[in-house]
């Protein structure tokens, strides 16, 4: 079966959130990413070159289309299309309101950049964080740029969109961490290996409503301390530093 105009239109339409929501699908491109995801999510469609198909025997998809590189280019959102495009079904997870009582979880408060969200998911995967709770105004996880930036981390990290205020109030006795310029030096603070780490919006930080619920304010110091430097860190970089320190302390 050749790659029809209708299939190209469907793939390209998933660049837009309303069509992703309508079809309950998301796009992944490239051998590495597709290989990471194909065992975890139901694959509705694979569009691949002969080379990719010959190198892969253990895959399952509801529909397979053999395509040339030129045909892939017409459907791809990438500047340099790769050997394979996959359409996966969006997973439906029940929100685990209690995960933070026995493990370390992340909360994202209004993160807007797709690349930041994807990188944070990749970091969560690296540091063994299985649940990320996102405010309703956080960028869509199934944004194509976000999916690409996860580098497959989405396979092992569950993303939940919910009211962060409500989920914190449902867990009244757990530590809630957040980063602030007036917080306590993270390297001087004893950190628990359970609870919720809130990371805020790129420009505004953590919302006033959530700030009131943070029980442990953390500060990532620059070096040397108190020298003139950038006003703040990128949210994904800050997440990496915070998660690294939590896991470092766990290994001591």
Spatial distance between the Cα atoms of 31 and 11, rounded to a whole number of angstroms = 17
**What are the φ and ψ backbone dihedral angles of 34, each rounded to 5 degrees?**
-65, -40
Please check whether residues 165 and 191 belong to one and the same domain.
yes
- On the CB side of 181, CA atoms within 13 Å amount to 8
What pLDDT is attached to residue 80? 82
What pLDDT is attached to residue 56? 87
Please check whether residues 63 and 170 belong to one and the same domain.
no
Q: Report residue 29 as tokens.
A: 């491109």
Q: Are 14 and 131 in contact (CB under 8 A)?
A: no
Indicate whether 235 belongs to any domain. Answer: yes
Please check whether residues 67 and 113 belong to one and the same domain.
no
Indicate whether 94 belongs to any domain. Answer: no
Please check whether residues 162 and 220 belong to one and the same domain.
yes
Spatial distance between the Cα atoms of 134 and 136, rounded to a whole number of angstroms = 6
Please check whether residues 154 and 229 belong to one and the same domain.
yes
DSSP letter for 140, please: P
| pTM assigned to the model | 0.93
Please check whether residues 126 and 234 belong to one and the same domain.
yes
Q: Which domain holds residue 22?
A: 5-89
The pLDDT tens digits of the residues spanning 183-194 come to 999 999 999 999
Indicate whether 220 belongs to any domain. Answer: yes
Please check whether residues 36 and 145 belong to one and the same domain.
no
Q: Which of 65, 89, 113 is the last residue of a domain?
A: 89
Spatial distance between the Cα atoms of 78 and 149, rounded to a whole number of angstroms = 12
Q: Which of 89, 117, 139 is the last residue of a domain?
A: 89
Which string of b and e fits 142-159 if b means at least 16 CB within 10 Å?
A: bbbebbbbbbbbbbbbbb
Q: Which of 63, 89, 115 is the last residue of a domain?
A: 89
What pLDDT is attached to residue 83? 93
Please check whether residues 84 and 110 belong to one and the same domain.
no
Size of the chain in residues: 252
How many structural domains does the chain have? 2
What pLDDT is attached to residue 1? 63
The pLDDT tens digits of the residues spanning 119-144 come to 999 999 999 999 999 999 999 999 99
**What are the φ and ψ backbone dihedral angles of 90, each rounded to 5 degrees?**
-70, 130
Is 197 in a helix, a strand, or coil? strand
Spatial distance between the Cα atoms of 155 and 150, rounded to a whole number of angstroms = 9
| Per-residue pLDDT tens digits of the chain, which is 252 residues long | 678 999 999 999 999 999 999 999 999 999 999 999 998 999 999 999 999 999 887 789 999 999 998 899 999 888 887 899 999 999 999 998 889 999 999 999 999 999 999 999 999 999 999 999 999 999 999 999 999 999 999 999 999 999 999 999 999 999 999 999 999 999 999 999 999 999 999 999 999 999 999 999 999 998 877 666 666 799 999 999 999 999 999 998
In the block, tokens 């359409």 appear at 87
Please check whether residues 24 and 115 belong to one and the same domain.
no
What's the CA dihedral at 137, 128, 152, 146 to 10 degrees? Answer: 20
Spatial distance between the Cα atoms of 87 and 29, rounded to a whole number of angstroms = 9
Strands in 64-66's sheet, in edge-to-edge order, are 25-29, 84-89, 43-48, 64-66
Cβ atoms within 10 A of the Cβ of 9, count?
11
Please check whether residues 247 and 152 belong to one and the same domain.
yes
Q: Report residue 221 as tokens.
A: 């110091």
Is 22 in a helix, a strand, or coil? helix
Indicate whether 229 belongs to any domain. Answer: yes
Please check whether residues 238 and 125 belong to one and the same domain.
yes
Let me know the angle formed at the C-alpha of 238 by 163 and 234, rounded to the nearest 5 degrees.
90
Any idea what the CATH number is for the domain that residue 224 is in?
3.40.1280.10
Any idea what the CATH number is for the domain that residue 56 is in?
3.30.1330.30
Q: Are 51 and 70 in contact (CB under 8 A)?
A: no
Please check whether residues 129 and 17 belong to one and the same domain.
no
């Amino acid at each position: 079966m050749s790659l029809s105009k209708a299939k190209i239109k469907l793939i390209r339409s998933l660049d837009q959130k309303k069509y992703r929501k309508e079809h309950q699908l998301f796009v992944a491109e490239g051998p590495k990413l597709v290989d990471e995801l194909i065992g975890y999510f139901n694959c509705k469609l694979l569009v691949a070159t002969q080379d990719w198909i010959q190198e892969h025997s253990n895959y399952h998809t509801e529909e397979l289309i053999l395509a040339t590189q030129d045909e892939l280019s017409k459907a791809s959102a990438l500047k340099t299309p790769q050997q394979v495009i996959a359409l996966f079904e969006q997973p439906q997870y029940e929100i685990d309101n209690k995960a933070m009582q026995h493990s370390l979880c992340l909360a994202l408060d209004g993160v807007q950049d797709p690349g930041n969200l994807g990188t944070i998911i990749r970091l969560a995967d690296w540091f063994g964080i299985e649940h990320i709770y996102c405010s309703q105004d956080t960028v869509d996880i199934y944004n194509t740029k976000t999916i690409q930036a996860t580098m497959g981390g989405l396979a092992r990290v569950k993303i939940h969109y919910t009211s962060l205020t409500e989920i914190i109030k449902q867990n009244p006795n757990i530590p809630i961490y957040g980063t602030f310029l007036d917080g306590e030096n993270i390297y001087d603070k004893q950190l628990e290996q359970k609870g919720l780490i809130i990371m805020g919006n790129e420009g505004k930080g953590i919302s006033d409503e959530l700030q009131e619920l943070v029980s442990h304010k953390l500060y990532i110091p620059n070096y040397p301390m108190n020298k003139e430097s950038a006003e703040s860190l990128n949210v994904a970089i800050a997440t990496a530093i915070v998660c690294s320190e939590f896991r470092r302390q766990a290994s001591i």
